Amino acid sequence: MRRLSITVVAAAALATALPAAPAGAAGAAGGHAQCAAGVCHFDVPPGTYDVRIELGGAAASSTSVGGETRRSLLPETAVPAGERVTRALTVNVRTPEGEPTGPDGTPGLDLRIGGSAPALAGIRVTPARHARQIFLIGDSTVCDQPGDPYSGWGQQLPQYLRKGVSVANYADSGESTVSYLGNPQLWATVRPLIRPGDPVLVQLAHNDKTTDEATYRANLETLVAGVRERGGQPVLVTPIVRRWFNADGTLDNGTALLVNGLGVDHPAVVRSVAAARDVPLIDLTAKTKELVESLGVEASKALYLTTEARDNTHTSVRGATLFARLVRDELATRHLVPRGTVRVG
């Protein structure tokens, strides 16, 4: 990792307000922070935190911030020489820090400072008092992927949000509507965390390969009802397309558009449930289809792991970032998050 242009240990010594440690929470007290080799670590318990970051230095700089399990938290931000800019964001800290069925990860909050010419002038972490959380329920195309070159769109979504909204990504690789509801580490864990007003985005379809239509529909309805019982706002999301072209350059086959082996048209069922239950719908199938087709057979390879792994289902960082931008636009257009909390551009 490249060296920072200033001494980040000094930056980390700036005020870092932390909550009192709950009883029995070893290592959570004291407000201890360390920055070295481009990583700032804060000893905080699981929760939601506001992060205030000051960027810039004597020379022109360009800095990005990531955190936890490869989440993109702040897009690369250019600052002219001799100037400073401040950015604020809200981060979800949880255990496990990535996929719910994965390893616990590192306790506390880890922020990674990157970019083509990084310059961190100061950083402050405080408990978030009134933040809205966006919960994500999904599969490997959504989750916080642990390793390169994979990335889920939920992993890239935080960079498009400002202070006041965090992303709690409970998507998990390999999950169907059946397994998500049945695994106590998943739905039974997420549901009690939902607070009134929290949007809960549900994209499950890729692994419902043997789920019949009646079961698939009932499972979606169960998730919708469970979110509403907690006072949350369910949002149904149709699945991202697979990069599976016809000879004429279109994606109108069942493989690309998520029709399973039983003939269940997953996007159509999601749309139907959304209409019947009066649930906001993000038609990510239609939006990703339009984007992938517009790029064509060759250029669209960069969105998936076609070259790296002959994988036309899972996305690269570039693909996940573009797909997350589509979700960002829908969140803003449908007013699913507070005004002013969506980062544009």
What digits encode the pLDDT tens for the residues 289-343?
A: 999 999 999 999 999 999 999 999 999 999 999 999 999 999 999 999 998 999 9
Q: What is the pLDDT of residues 39-69, one digit of tens each?
A: 999 999 999 999 999 999 999 999 999 999 9
pLDDT of residue 94: 97
pLDDT attached to residue 172:
98
> What is the arithmetic mean of pLDDT over 229-253?
97
Provide the pLDDT confidence category of residue 345 given band limits of 50, 70 and 90: confident
Q: 3-class SS at 233? A: strand
Residue 207: name the closest of 165, 173, 249, 181 by CA: 173
Q: What is the pLDDT of residues 22-37, one digit of tens each?
A: 222 222 233 568 898 8
What's the CA gap between 45 and 21, in Å, rounded?
Answer: 7
Cα–Cα distances in Å, from 126 out to 16, 91, 105, 114, 137?
7, 10, 21, 22, 27
Neighbouring CB atoms inside 10 A of 258's CB total 23
**pLDDT tens readout for residues 185-235:** 999 999 999 999 999 999 999 999 999 999 999 999 999 999 999 999 999
CA distance 280 to 277: 9
Q: Give 329's contacts (C-beta < 8 A, 6+ positions apart).
A: none
pLDDT, residue 51, reads 98
**Edge-to-edge strands, sheet with 85-93:** 85-93, 47-55, 120-127
pLDDT score of 32: 67
pLDDT of 30: 36
Residue 92 pLDDT greater than 70, yes or no: yes
The secondary element (H helix, E strand) that includes residue 185 is none
Q: What is the pLDDT of residue 237?
A: 98
Q: What is the mean pLDDT of residues 236-248?
A: 97
Contacts for 165 with CB less than 8 Å, ≥ 6 apart: 90, 131, 132, 133, 134, 337, 338, 341
The predicted structure's pLDDT at residue 329: 97
Q: Is the pLDDT of residue 144 over 90?
A: yes
Between CA 15 and CA 284, with CA 159 as vertex, the angle to 5 degrees is 155
The pLDDT value given to residue 33: 80
